[in-house]
Amino acid sequence: MMHAVRTRLAAACVAVAFSVTLTGCITINSGSAQPTEATASVDAPSASPAVDYSSALEQLSYAIGALAKSSQPNATAEDCSYTAFTANSMASATPAPQWQGTYERITANMRNVGRLCTIDPSSASARALAASTRPDVVDILNREKFHGLTDWE
């Protein structure tokens, strides 16, 4: 009887593991009346130690320069291309969960800056978007102390 229950619970855990949200599976030990949690606590840190986020941080360090150049009134077509290229490179990196939404917004904004700026390198809209996006990049790099620095500007 207990083997059948354990088998059903294991199957349920596998089914839950493939769903969008996994909050934890409960297993029942045959020698114990108390259920034990088989997954990490909900309060565990959000960043997975097995995933390397340094590539995303490296891309953000390039984004600072790209956005700085694109936000200048004398931006060139090359500056615009570099901003678009950096945004495309950012899309292939894995950001840490705690700043994933901001990272995705930065990437989308940089793509838009690249598009607007490519059409017209002196575009006020592109410059304004680049200037308003750059502080988000600085914030992440400062919080993560990328390259040991805490004074990204």
Q: Write down the pTM of the prediction.
A: 0.64
Per the domain annotation, does 43 fall within a domain? no
* Amino acid 134: pLDDT: 94
Does 61 lie in the same domain as 22? no
* Amino acid 143: pLDDT: 86
Does 13 lie in the same domain as 79? no
Question: What is the average per-residue pLDDT within 1-18?
Answer: 41
Does 142 lie in the same domain as 97? yes
Q: Using alpha carbons, list the distances in angstroms from residue 24 to 21, 27, 77, 88, 138.
A: 9, 10, 51, 35, 35
Does 124 lie in the same domain as 66? yes
Does 65 lie in the same domain as 32? no
Q: What is the DSSP letter of 146?
A: G
Question: What is the average per-residue pLDDT within 4-23?
Answer: 39
Does 65 lie in the same domain as 124? yes
HSE at residue 37, side-chain half, CA atoms within 13 A, is: 7
How many residues in the chain? Answer: 153
How sure is the predictor about 98, in pLDDT bands with cuts at 50, 70 and 90?
Answer: very high
Please say if the pLDDT value at position 147 is more than 70: no
Does 139 lie in the same domain as 68? yes
- The number of folded domains in the chain is 2
Does 96 lie in the same domain as 26? no
Does 140 lie in the same domain as 95? yes
Per the domain annotation, does 77 fall within a domain? yes
Per the domain annotation, does 72 fall within a domain? yes
Does 140 lie in the same domain as 101? yes
The continuous run of DSSP H or E covering 26 comes out as strand 26-27
Question: What is the average per-residue pLDDT within 47-73?
Answer: 85
Least confident of 44-48, 70-74, 85-89: 44-48
Does 83 lie in the same domain as 15? no
Domain limits at 140?
Answer: 54-148
Q: Which tens digit of pLDDT belongs to each residue from 16-44?
A: 333 333 334 333 334 444 444 333 333 33
Tokens of 140: 């992440």
Pairwise CA distance, residues 65 & 70, whole Å: 9
* Amino acid 50: pLDDT: 62
Per the domain annotation, does 47 fall within a domain? no
Does 99 lie in the same domain as 68? yes
Q: Which tens digit of pLDDT belongs to each residue from 119-134?
A: 998 899 999 999 999 9
Per the domain annotation, does 112 fall within a domain? yes
